[in-house]
Chains A and B, each alone.
Chain A
Amino acid sequence: MSLEDEVRKLLSENVKKAGPRALRAIARKIAEEKGDPNVYTEAFKVAARILGRPKLIVDGKRIDGRSPDELRTPLRIEVGVLSRADGSALIEWGKNKIVVGVYGPRPCIPKHEANPYRALVKARYNMAPFSTPEERIRPGPTRRSVEISKLLEEALSSVILLEEFPGAQIEVYVEVLQSDGGTRVASLTAASVALAQAGIPMLDLISAVAVGKVDGQIVIDLNKDEDNWGEVDMPLAILPRTRELVFLQTDGLLTKEEYKEALKLGIKGALQIYEVQKEALKRRYML
C-alpha cells in the first residue's frame, strides 16, 4: 500500500471528524508502524493535502505575518488586578486574555488532604463560556481543563518552597476569558507572576512558551490555527536562571535534530517572556 493509500484508509476509519487531532494521530500511527519518525512529516503532508488544508507558511511568513522566531503581540502582563486575591495577574498574549488569582498559603481544607510536611498547590484552569469564537463552551471541567490544572500544579510545585508552609494550601485559579492557542503556557507564565506578588517564596519565576512545527518549519508561539493544523505542538516552560525545563509536552513527532532546534528556539522565546514578567513586577515599584 502506498503512503497515500494508507493515509486515506486511516482517514476513513477515523470516527471523529477529520480535525487536528486526527491528522497528527494518523501520521503518528503510520510513522510508528514503519518505525521511522521521518515518515511522520510525509504522512502528515499527505493527510493535510487530502483534506485540503491550506498552507500555514507562505514565502517564509506565517498566516499572521510573523516570522518563525517571532512571538505574538501584544504581550502584556498586569500584576495585582484582583484586590481581594493574595496575588493576581492578567496576561494578554496575542488574542489570549487570561486572569490568574492566587490565594494562600491558607490552611488546607479538607483537613484530611493536608500534607503535614509541605503545602499543597491546588490549581483550577477554567475556560469562560465566551472564550472561544465557536459555540459557547458549557461550564464545568473537561478532560482538557483537568489535565491543564494538573500540569499547572506539577510545574508550580517544582519551584515553590512548599516546605515553608506545612499543612497549608496554595490555590491558583486560572480563568481564560479569551483563548487563541497557547493558553496553558500563558496561564503558567501569569500564575508564576501572581505567586510572586502573593509573596510566596520560589526558586525562580517560570517562563513558558509553545514551540511547534508548521509546514515543515520549526516555529515559536503557535496561534490557534497553527496549534490546530500544524504537525507538532510542543509547549514548554523553564526556570530562566538555569534554563532547566520544568514542563514539557509534545503532540506530534519530531526527529532528534528537530527536537533540539525546537528546544533551542523555545528557550530563547521563554527568556523573552521572562523579561516581560520581570518588567511587570518591577514596574509596580518604580523607585
Chain B
Amino acid sequence: MRKVVVPGELVSEKKVEGPVYEDDGKYYSLIYGLATYEGERVKLIPLEGRYMPKPGDLVIGVVQEARFFGYLVDIRSPYTGVLMANETREKFTEGDVISAKVKTVDEVKNVFLTSPRRLEGGRIIEIIPAKVPRVIGKKKSMVLMMKQLTGVQILVGSNGRVWLRGPWEKMSKVIEAILMIEREAHTTGLTDRIREFLEGEG
C-alpha cells in the first residue's frame, strides 16, 4: 500500500524509516514524499528535493576550482565537494568531469571526496536525486538492463547526475528512457515498459 504524503501529515503509528518526527506516539512526515506500507515495515522516501551527500555515495561532479589543498567540486548540492590533493595522483583542471565517492561529511557540511576518476567524453544529464534509486533498480536491475540492451556505458550518481557514453542514437534512446523513469518512478510495471521501449525501433 502506498500513499503520497505532505509535510505534517500522519504517516503511521508504528516506527517509520525516513524523514519523520514523532509527536505523542505518532509519526508525521517532514517532507513531500511517498510512504510505503509493507506489513510491519513503513518507509518514507522523498518525491523531490536537492541532493544531500552521505558517506559512501557515488557522485558525478564537475571540478570548479583548483586550490592549494586540492579541488572544489560541484556536486549539485547545497554543499560543495572537496577533493583533497592527497586523495589522488592525477591532476585535474577546472571543467573536468569526475566520478567520486563521498568519504565524509563534517558538521559544517564540508563534503570530502575520495577515489576520483576522470570521465572522458560522453554526456551528462541531470535528474531529480530522489529518482536515482529507480533508475538503478533493485540490485542494479534497471541500469544493467539498459546497458545490456544498448551497449551504452552508464554511470548513475546519487546526486542525480548520470554520465553516458556510446554511439549518439543509442545514447539518445537511453536518455529518453531515463527521463521516462524519472517521470513514472512512482508507478508499477516500469521495468517492462522500459525494456519494451529500448527493444523497440528508434
Contact = CB atoms under 8 A, between A and B. Distances in A.
A107 B80 contact: yes
A19 interface: no
Contacts of B34: 285
Contacts of A204: 7-8, 28
Contacts of B78: 104-107, 165, 168
A106 B7 CA distance: 21
Instruction: Say what secondary structure dominates the interface of chain B.
Output: loop
Contacts of B130: 199
Counting chain A CB atoms within 10 Å of each CB, the highest count among B34, B78, B130 belongs to B78
Interface string A242-272: 0000000000000000000000000000000
The 3 closest A-B pairs by CB, nearest first: A199-B49, A204-B8, A201-B30
A287 B108 contact: no
A86 B76 CA distance: 12
A281 B30 CA distance: 14
Contacts, number: 82
Contact of A281 (B6, B46, B80, B186): B6
30 contacts: A105-B50, A105-B78, A106-B78, A166-B107, A166-B108, A167-B109, A168-B79, A196-B7, A197-B32, A197-B48, A198-B49, A199-B32, A199-B46, A199-B48, A199-B49, A199-B130, A200-B31, A201-B7, A201-B19, A202-B30, A203-B30, A204-B28, A240-B8, A241-B8, A241-B9, A281-B6, A285-B4, A285-B186, A287-B4, A287-B187
Which of B48, B80, B108, B109 has its CB near the most chain A CB atoms (within 10 A)?
B48
B8 A202 contact: yes
Interface in A93-117: 104-107, 116
Given A105-B50, A166-B109, A199-B31, 5 more contacts: A201-B30, A201-B31, A205-B6, A282-B4, A285-B186
Interface in B24-55: 28, 30-32, 34, 46-50
A168 B78 CA distance: 7
B32 A281 contact: yes
B102 to A, nearest CB: 17
Given A196-B32, A287-B186, A278 B6 contact: yes
